[in-house]
């Protein structure tokens, strides 16, 4: 198969698009929360700490979901777990529209987060296993690009729906992916690599031991640091983006409009990363895009004018989401098939702790009247730590076969 094989193989193209749409719905749900909390804060008179807690609860659910779904996907298959996680977050989203109290809404957001967090590592593992090595990185980054599509849809819902029909309508729209699961059930199958391993399934204890064995320990520690720093900074910055714009003096509708413009910059961020990741490798893209994300965070935190805010926000979106794409492509390549989804799920779950800390920390700091420029310096430092971890401790995985490496190690033993 040549370098354009991914685009010419109908089966692979269908898988990428089918999994990509589920990824889009996932992103739409996460994106809508950032807009909904801005409207809820006005409607329910929530303070900054309550807003931070609501977004943190969502991330706690995502952490639990990533760990559980990642493990289940190695045991019961990628396809089955992908479908169930999609149904869980869709149902919880629809029920969120019926929430009559802050406590009930938090409980439903935890359940929705469980489904959301579970779906992402499983979908990326499925796509990574289903394409040739020379297209693997690009395919997963392109899968991640559907995230930008989901945020764009959520921004459109926020701009056109929430101001006129309220936040409950947005939650009802979030339940629609449940219908898509009916199509997905027939559209995708487990990867050939996973199917070939059916008779070699390991227990959870064996998979956990393998992830932390001498063969994978360095990679696991590097991934956990990377995921923690990236997720901490992303959710701390982006879930607060509409609210931050309101704090800077813009109306709710105007802030939604500006965030939509910034969100559009995510798409070229993904596409450039997809091109560069097979040309220069995973480490190059990760480190470069993370360093430029850190610089953009400082720029955004100190931006004073309207034009500067939009430009800095667009730069932040471009490089941060490009780095996310590279991270999702890189992570599955560090583990063999038998433990891959468990390894990815555990890394994502540990990272989601950052997703809890980030938004909640911003809420606390804003409540204490800490300057936004100082808050964004915290994210600058976090992103730099993630970039340095990959630079000094990460290994390049472009064109590698984790199963072959694992078999060679067993042979030497």
Average of per-residue pLDDT across 214-222:
96
pTM of this structure: 0.85
Q: Is the model more confident about 201 or about 381?
A: 381
Q: Binning pLDDT at 50, 70 and 90, where does residue 325 land?
A: very high
CATH class, 13-184+215-407 region:
mainly alpha
Rounded Cα distance, 168 and 148, in Å: 23
Rounded Cα distance, 389 and 411, in Å: 30
User: Residue 70: enclosing H or E segment and its boundaries?
Assistant: helix 48-76
Mean pLDDT of the chain: 87
pLDDT in tens, 290-305: 999 999 999 988 887 7
Q: Which residues contact 412 (CB under 8 A, 6 or more apart)?
A: none
pLDDT in tens, 350-378: 998 998 888 888 888 988 988 888 999 99
125, 17, 20, 21: which is closest to 72 by C-alpha? Answer: 125
Handedness of CA 319, 253, 37, 369 (dihedral sign): positive
Whether residue 262 has pLDDT greater than 80: yes
- How many other CB atoms are found less than 10 A from the CB of residue 106? 19
The CA-based angle 355-48-45, given to 5 degrees, is 125
Both tokens of 112, joined, read 């929705």
How far is C-alpha 90 from the chain's CA centre? 17
Q: Which residues contact 107 (CB under 8 A, 6 or more apart)?
A: none
Rounded Cα distance, 354 and 4, in Å: 37
Question: How far separated are the first and last CA of the chain, in Å rounded?
Answer: 34
Rounded Cα distance, 324 and 316, in Å: 12
pLDDT in tens, 172-198: 998 988 888 888 888 888 888 888 876
pLDDT of residue 407: 53
pLDDT of residue 320: 94
122, 127, 126: which is closest to 140 by C-alpha? Answer: 127
Per DSSP, the residues of 341-371 read HHHHHHHHHHHHHHHHHHHHHHHHHHHTT--
Residue 214 C-beta-side C-alpha neighbours within 13 Å: 3
């Amino acid at each position: 198969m040549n370098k354009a094989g991914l685009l010419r193989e109908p089966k692979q193209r269908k898988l990428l698009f089918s999994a990509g749409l589920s990824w889009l719905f996932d992103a739409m749900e996460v994106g809508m929360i950032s807009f909904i909390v801005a409207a809820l804060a006005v409607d329910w008179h929530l303070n900054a700490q309550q807003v931070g807690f609501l977004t943190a609860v969502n991330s706690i659910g995502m952490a639990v979901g990533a760990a559980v779904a990642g493990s289940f996907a190695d045991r019961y298959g990628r396809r089955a777990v992908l479908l169930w996680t999609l149904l869980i977050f869709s149902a919880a989203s629809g029920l969120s529209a019926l929430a009559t109290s802050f406590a009930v809404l938090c409980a439903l957001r935890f359940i929705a987060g469980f489904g959301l967090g579970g779906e992402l590592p499983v979908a990326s593992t499925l796509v990574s296993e289903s394409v040739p090595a020379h297209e693997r990185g690009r395919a997963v980054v392109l899968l991640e690009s559907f995230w930008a599509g989901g945020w764009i849809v959520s921004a459109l819902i926020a701009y056109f729906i929430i101001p006129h029909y309220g936040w409950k309508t947005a939650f009802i729209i979030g339940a629609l992916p449940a219908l898509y699961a009916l199509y997905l059930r027939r559209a995708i199958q487990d990867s050939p690599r996973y199917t070939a391993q059916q008779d070699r399934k390991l227990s959870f204890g064996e998979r956990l031991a393998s992830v932390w064995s001498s063969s994978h320990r360095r990679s696991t520690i590097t991934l956990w640091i990377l995921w923690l720093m990236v997720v901490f900074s992303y959710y701390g910055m982006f879930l607060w983006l509409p609210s931050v714009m309101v704090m800077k003096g813009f109306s709710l509708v105007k802030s939604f409009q500006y965030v939509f413009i910034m969100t559009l910059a995510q798409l070229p961020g993904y596409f450039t990363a997809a091109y560069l990741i097979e040309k220069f490798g995973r480490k190059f893209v990760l480190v470069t895009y993370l360093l430029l994300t850190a610089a953009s965070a400082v720029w955004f935190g100190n931006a004073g004018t309207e034009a500067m805010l939009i430009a800095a926000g667009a730069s932040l979106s471009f490089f941060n989401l490009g780095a996310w794409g590279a991270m999702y492509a890189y992570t599955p390549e560090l583990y063999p098939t038998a433990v891959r989804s468990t390894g990815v799920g555990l890394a994502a779950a540990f990272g989601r702790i950052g997703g809890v800390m980030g938004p909640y920390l911003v809420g606390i700091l804003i409540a204490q009247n800490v300057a936004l420029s100082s808050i964004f310096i915290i994210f600058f430092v976090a992103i730099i730590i993630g970039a340095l971890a990959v630079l000094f401790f990460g290994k390049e995985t472009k064109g590698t076969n984790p199963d072959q490496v694992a078999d060679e190690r067993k042979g030497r033993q």
